[in-house]
A and B are shown apart, each in its own frame.
Chain A
Amino acid sequence: MDRECVSLLPRVCEVLAASGSSLPDDTSLEKLLDWFTGLTKAGTSLLESCPCLLEFISTVVHNTALDPSILSFTLRLTGFVAVTEVAFKVLQESSVLDLVFNLQHWQEAGLWEDPCIRIGWIQGLRTMMQHPKALSFFVQADFLQPLLQLQTDKSLFVASAANQMLAHVLLSCQSVSSVGSNDVDEEGEDVGRSGGSIADLEYSAVTVETNQDYAAVVTAISECLKKSLVPRENTQLHQSLQILKLLALLLAQTRPPLWEKLLQMVADSVDELLVAGYSQLILPLMDVILAAYSCDVNRRAPDQRVSRLLSFMLNIRKPADLIQAAAAFLRRGLHDLVHTAQSARVLLLPLDIITGLNLLTTTADEQRFLMMEQLKNKTSCISLICVCLTNTPQMTLMAADCLPCPPVLIVTAVLSLLKLCSGDSSSPSSSSSGCREVSRNVIGSSKVQKCALDALTALSGSPGVEVKLAEVFTLLVQCLDNPDSDPTVLQKSFQALVQWMSVCSDLSSITDQHRQDLLQVVRKRSCDIRWEVRDSTVEFLGRLAGVRVIQTTAEEASDASVAVLGGCCFTTPLLRAALQDTESYVRASAISALAQTLAASWQQGAALTQEQTEIVNQLLEVLSWDTEGFARRAVVRYFIAWLSSMSSHSCVQSPASSSLLMPSVRSVLSRGSADLDWEVKVHTLELAELLLDEAFSGQRGYTKGNPTQTHPYAVIPNTLHTRTHNEEDVVGVLNSLVQWGVVSALLSGLVDCDRPVALRACRLLITLREVVCPLSLGALDATAAMATVARVTCELPGCGWAREIRKMLVMKAKDANAEGGVSGGEVVNCDDCGEAGQEAASVGGQTPCVSVCEVLRSLDLDERLDVLTRSSDHVHNSPLSLLQDILTASSARSQPDTQQEVIADCY
């Protein structure tokens, strides 16, 4: 623990204990507790290291006039302090503990009404309850009853915390009593036991007497569960809900003797609850049954009671409840053939009814009739269908014997549902009047459409559905063409289309007509009035270009964009038009899509077309003039993609493209590093990194990426050393890096005020230094080779970042001169960068040059990296900063003349 923090803590405690009102920042206390949590987890005894806490707690607990938030904090703090037995004893002996957790104390002060006191009480107890002594304290103080009452507290948070606490108590009692009575189930697995903390209980310390107490607690809790589970009237549903939640927690975590006991206690009540058929309780009830069931399955042969309950749930009469139960079962993903098959049948029934497709060969007539009646109600129809749709993809991946029909039929059903949504009545369901009535409910429902499209996208991965590609294609194009489709439906349709094409890869079933239709609809949507739609369309064009497909006719792999849209000649003009879009999101998507579309031609090293040249010029313009970051970021990413696809094919030197690429990269580097948007700058540095990689790959001392991540003793693969550059190479490469503007970009990044930019630049500069003039090689003129490299210079213009760099160099030179060190003379060597030089430059209009190596060596990069890595968080998020803030805030408030209401208002 930080000594400075320890020394500040007593004063902070004083301030907190004396403050009548809450702190100006509502997070301070919470963060203080975070710090204590961390300390406790690290094994620090709070009472030993901060003895002032005891006094703080006892002062505060007597002063009920304090702000409830401080009191709540103290309750929770007490829990942390008493987490060790020793500290617990100290607190108990000083009779602080009794008062802190004394309910009457808080009730009499009228504070119990405040939810933050109640939650503080629960959480304090919960934290403390890690050893048998705390458990005895809990039992003897008879806290069980109030805790049970808090379970139905009007505050959601209090009720939930009380439930967690009850589970914790019961599990703690279980451990203790099972050890005490030598009745440990050796094979019982600790299924998800809460933390490892209970394991630390000192079993030996448990006396028979307390053991009886624990048994009493267990009985009391189970009695309560049994008694309160079934609501006597509708107003008690909330209580049943809470009990069910608790029961689910317990059944998932308890071990056999207790598990059996619990189940036995509540079995009748659960039965009763099932029969009563409260729809609100279906899901929590299912949770309980599934918790018991999965526990059971993991343990031994399934318990008959649990299986029976489960079967009951999957045969409930109320259709809405039935669907919920079946969906809940499937979500668990249990391996149980019978129930899985049953759930699948339940979930497919609404689809079967609405589409009129025979998904299910047999269903009980009654169930079908009830479901049909339910589906006639529009609201419940929509919600039921959505639940079913959400579960279809998972169903198709199940074992074939669980599924009543082949996955292809499910795809057909989803397709015909989508048709119904768009008002197409030619589906088979028109056969019966009931079906017609039901299917009317989904017409125009974008909620169902969205669900169906999500399902359709996910269904593309189901076995044997490829045959449906043409049908899916037709339907999605229809969706896209439908004037009533909302933007999200259109987006999802595009996504589904890409997904199906990428999964099915064989596009032989797609006819020319299909292609024509798609072309038309894409053209139409690319100039939709809503930017959301235009953006989705442009994104689609980009994604499509990234999908590899096979066309049987050509027997050759190509991308889907070429296969279905005819490739660049169709997409590029659309995308270029989108570059002029009024919405910057669309412009940015268009730029990314262009990069994806042109990727193939870059990789093939194809000659640049006139169009591509024009695009590059357009993009450079965007980088200079676009008012918004998104588009400019995309431009830099475009060049990153281009450059990396070229370098991966080692054709940087290929004259066809490099004649355009390298000059463009140069302007991207200079414009990008002067951008106002930090992400543009970060991307620009990424581009610079690519150039460094390319220039020095294989060079000794060059490690790609982050130099600090390499372990000093790591084995460097031999391949890295295969290509050795001689000095001329290094000089040449460094010169070209300077010419491309890489060095300037890195230097300007280094002094950037955005930390991510500066950090990245700093890392890259260190990398560069390690390659061209590593510090380990001694002075720059130590060898002739080094001297040659040191002669490479770069410009430092008179304004902006360069001025900052110069200042740093001058400071360094001064320091060095003052020390009279050896290296000092070398740095001052760059006379130009002194104050005089600056003025000369600005007067003469000439840009002064400095040696790259000297700059790299004089900037104290390692020290800078250290500071940048620590980041501003080092100051801001430390406990020390927090304690200081609390202190200064309080002193500011105590001085009336400087007091001003600093209101926590909006952003």
Chain B
Amino acid sequence: IGKITGCVFPLQGAGQDVGRSCILVSIGGKNIMLDCGMHMGYNDDRRFPDFSYITQNGRLTDFLDCVIISHFHLDHCGALPYMSEMVGYDGPIYMTHPTKAICPILLEDFRKITVDKKGETNFFTSQMIKDCMKKVVPLNLHQTVQVDDELEIKAYYAGHVLGAAMVHIKVGSESVVYTVSVNKYAKSHISAWIDKCRPDILISESTYATTIRDSKRCRERDFLKKVHETIERGGKVLIPVFALGRAQELCILLETFWERMNLKAPIYFSTGLTEKANHYYKLFITWTNQKIRKTFVQRNMFEFKHIKAFDRSYADNPGPMVVFATPGMLHAGQSLQIFKKWAGNEKNMVIMPGYCVQGTIGHKILNGQRKLEMEGRATLDVKLQVEYMSFSAHADAKGIMQLIRMAEPRNMLLVHGEAVKMEFLKGKIEQEFSIDCYMPANGETATVTTNPSVPVDISLNLLKREMALGGPLPDPKKPRTMHGTLIMKENSLKLVSSEQALKELGLNEHQLRFTCRVQLQDPHSDPDTLHRIYTHLKSVLKGYTIQHLPDGTVMVESIVIKVSSSAEDTNAKVLLLSWSYQGGEYFFTALCIVKRLMYQ
């Protein structure tokens, strides 16, 4: 019996935690870390996973066999440079090509945010990000990668964001599939989604496990409507974004809309990284979703006609405009500067397309704070409209159910979701698929037992002998029992005949005989008693070879039965039974019968 354990291992503190991924899986003696995310809400070590819980003594490299990153979001890869360059993990790291290309951009972006703040310590440098990325081994879709002799991984398309992947991890006959936020759209994009690989466990994120969210298209329409209305009434729209990811999607949306509606208001993009981001989207066009690809075929979508580079002086220009500016949480830099300029006018609007950590202006205004204390004790009156839109393509219940149907896992492990919602999904899965569904809290381990098949070689002699005895030819589809001696040597198992085993091991054969004494009261003489036993056995044991031998013994197959009586009491008879270990199977039959005899 094998064991696979999955330990949800994000940050300190127990309980479920939404979205910060770091999972440790032990399978077939291999330890694999799935994702290595960070928590952006903290300024100290709490933002990274505490690896001392994994290994206190040895090095992380000795303990872990590999790290696999599912996609480029920082809550899945943000702690990677910390782990590889500061904690000192030196083993292989796997992620897809697009993820490898985009990861450093986001890590750089976040490093900027961090060093921008005062009192930040223990954060990685640019050089560390580069050195970390140099250790990454890129994965291709549907290509099996052999991590070592026993461990292999294979990546599948997961939708979600550019470059996101599901991974199938296999050690011997045990396997695990890990998927982040897979959504139901993913399947339509690429025909070969995931094989029916029947993993022992399917690990899935369940952030939006139950939310029946309005479709992405609805949200997009809503977004365009809001932008359009603001522009129509002469207002300015600020969209704080991070350099890469959602920004590109929103740019494409606006560009297409502007084209269709023949709008004239300028759209600006303030970050210097757009070109690089667009470059990646072009490079990895096969990875993007169908919609982007379709548009790309029609015209070169990344050469925007309406979107132009932003100069800080434009913020004061009169008239409507839309500006994409970094950073996305409105806590510093350009986006904050523009926000300060525009906040006082109720005609303007700010659209927050992502998560904002506590303490940032973004967080404050999303919660409805209307008076903000700025540097130097100045107060800022927020009169502009504040909108929040989530465009992320996380897993929903439908996507997860569909995935289970495709992959047919034996067990399900849900991570990262609110407990109540996860409980609901768990019930649904257990009901529909009759499989066990685990949902460990942070720091808890879920263990699943497996029945791995162990390959054994059979000696030709043994097979021949079986065939000589009239057995059927070996057939992989029909399991059958074989007798022989199992030799375990140098990691391989071999079934051979006992003679061969003796020969190979250089041992002599020894015979074992077992004896047993049964007392009974019988007034007859010893030979009579024996004869009574013989006739009785003969009557009940049909089909057995039973002999009454002239030396005063009865033999049932190889079991020898003798009778003797004690000198004092001739009525007290002692039955002596003796059998070799091969005869063991008849012994119980014979014993039962003898016992019945006693009570007659």
| Chain A residues with a Cβ under 8 A of chain B | 24-28, 30-31, 68-69, 72, 114-116, 118-119, 154-158, 160, 283, 286-287, 324, 327-328, 331, 376-379, 383, 386-387, 390, 447, 450, 454, 486-488, 491, 532, 535-536, 584-585, 627-630, 633, 675-679, 753-756, 799-801, 803-804, 863, 866-877, 881-882, 884-885, 888-889, 891-892, 895, 898, 900, 902-907
Whether A755 touches B332, Cβ cut-off 8 Å, given contacts A157-B443, A906-B73, A906-B355, is yes
A24 to B358 CA separation, bound complex (whole angstroms) = 9
Select from chain A the residue with minimum beta-carbon distance to B272. A676
Question: Which label, helix, strand, loop or mixed, suits the secondary structure of the B interface?
Answer: loop
Whether A877 touches B359, Cβ cut-off 8 Å, given contacts A27-B42, A158-B14, A906-B19, is yes
Q: A328 to chain B: closest CB distance in Å? A: 6
30 contacts between A and B (CB under 8 A): A27-B42, A154-B445, A157-B442, A283-B57, A379-B148, A379-B149, A386-B61, A486-B137, A487-B134, A488-B134, A678-B333, A753-B337, A756-B116, A869-B118, A870-B375, A871-B118, A872-B117, A872-B336, A873-B119, A882-B358, A882-B359, A885-B358, A885-B369, A888-B364, A903-B207, A904-B19, A904-B355, A906-B394, A907-B328, A907-B354
Select from chain B the residue with minimum beta-carbon distance to A632. B272
A835 to B225 CA separation, bound complex (whole angstroms) = 38
Contact with A along B500-529 (1 / 0, CB 8 A): 000000000000000000000000000000
B74 at interface by CB-CB < 8 Å: yes
Q: A885 to chain B: closest CB distance in Å? A: 6
B62 at interface by CB-CB < 8 Å: yes
Contacts of A160 in B (CB 8 A): 53
Is A535's CB under 8 angstroms from B134's CB? Answer: yes
Is A328's CB under 8 angstroms from B57's CB? Answer: yes
From B59, B126, B245, contact of A390 by CB (8 A): B59
From A115, A882, A895, A904, contact of B441 by CB (8 A): A115
Q: A767 to chain B: closest CB distance in Å? A: 21
B144 at interface by CB-CB < 8 Å: no
Contacts A155-B14, A156-B53 known; 11 new A-B pairs at CB < 8 A: A69-B15, A158-B443, A454-B90, A585-B133, A630-B126, A873-B119, A874-B375, A875-B374, A885-B364, A905-B394, A907-B40
Q: B312 to chain A: closest CB distance in Å? A: 6
- Stretch among B5-13, B285-293, B470-478 lining the A interface: B5-13
B124 at interface by CB-CB < 8 Å: no
Is B14's CB under 8 angstroms from A118's CB? Answer: yes
B363 at interface by CB-CB < 8 Å: yes
Closest 3 CB pairs of A and B: A676-B272, A115-B14, A27-B41
B135 at interface by CB-CB < 8 Å: yes
Whether A799 touches B392, Cβ cut-off 8 Å, given contacts A872-B117, A874-B375, A882-B359, is no
Contact with A along B460-501 (1 / 0, CB 8 A): 000000000000000000000000000000110000000000
B115 at interface by CB-CB < 8 Å: yes
Is B359's CB under 8 angstroms from A800's CB? Answer: no
B373 at interface by CB-CB < 8 Å: yes
Contacts of A158 in B (CB 8 A): 14, 443
A116 to B15 CA separation, bound complex (whole angstroms) = 5
Is B375's CB under 8 angstroms from A156's CB? Answer: no
Q: A38 to chain B: closest CB distance in Å? A: 13
Is B367's CB under 8 angstroms from A24's CB? Answer: yes
Is A26's CB under 8 angstroms from B126's CB? Answer: no
A704 to B208 CA separation, bound complex (whole angstroms) = 56
Contacts of B569 in A (CB 8 A): none
Contacts of A803 in B (CB 8 A): 313
From B149, B150, B332, B363, contact of A885 by CB (8 A): B363
Q: A221 to chain B: closest CB distance in Å? A: 21
Is B58's CB under 8 angstroms from A755's CB? Answer: no
A745 to B19 CA separation, bound complex (whole angstroms) = 43
Is B135's CB under 8 angstroms from A488's CB? Answer: yes
Q: A136 to chain B: closest CB distance in Å? A: 28
A377 to B14 CA separation, bound complex (whole angstroms) = 39
Select from chain B the residue with minimum beta-carbon distance to A386. B62
Contacts of A386 in B (CB 8 A): 61-62
A572 to B138 CA separation, bound complex (whole angstroms) = 31
B334 at interface by CB-CB < 8 Å: yes
Whether A892 touches B367, Cβ cut-off 8 Å, given contacts A116-B15, A119-B13, is yes
Is A888's CB under 8 angstroms from B312's CB? Answer: no
Is A885's CB under 8 angstroms from B367's CB? Answer: yes
Whether A115 touches B15, Cβ cut-off 8 Å, given contacts A25-B41, A378-B149, is yes
A486 to B47 CA separation, bound complex (whole angstroms) = 32
Is B40's CB under 8 angstroms from A156's CB? Answer: no
Is A905's CB under 8 angstroms from B354's CB? Answer: yes
Select from chain B the residue with minimum beta-carbon distance to A864. B376
Is A871's CB under 8 angstroms from B272's CB? Answer: no
Contacts of B359 in A (CB 8 A): 876-877, 881-882, 885
A889 to B336 CA separation, bound complex (whole angstroms) = 21
From A28, A156, A328, contact of B7 by CB (8 A): A156
Select from chain A the residue with minimum beta-carbon distance to B332. A872
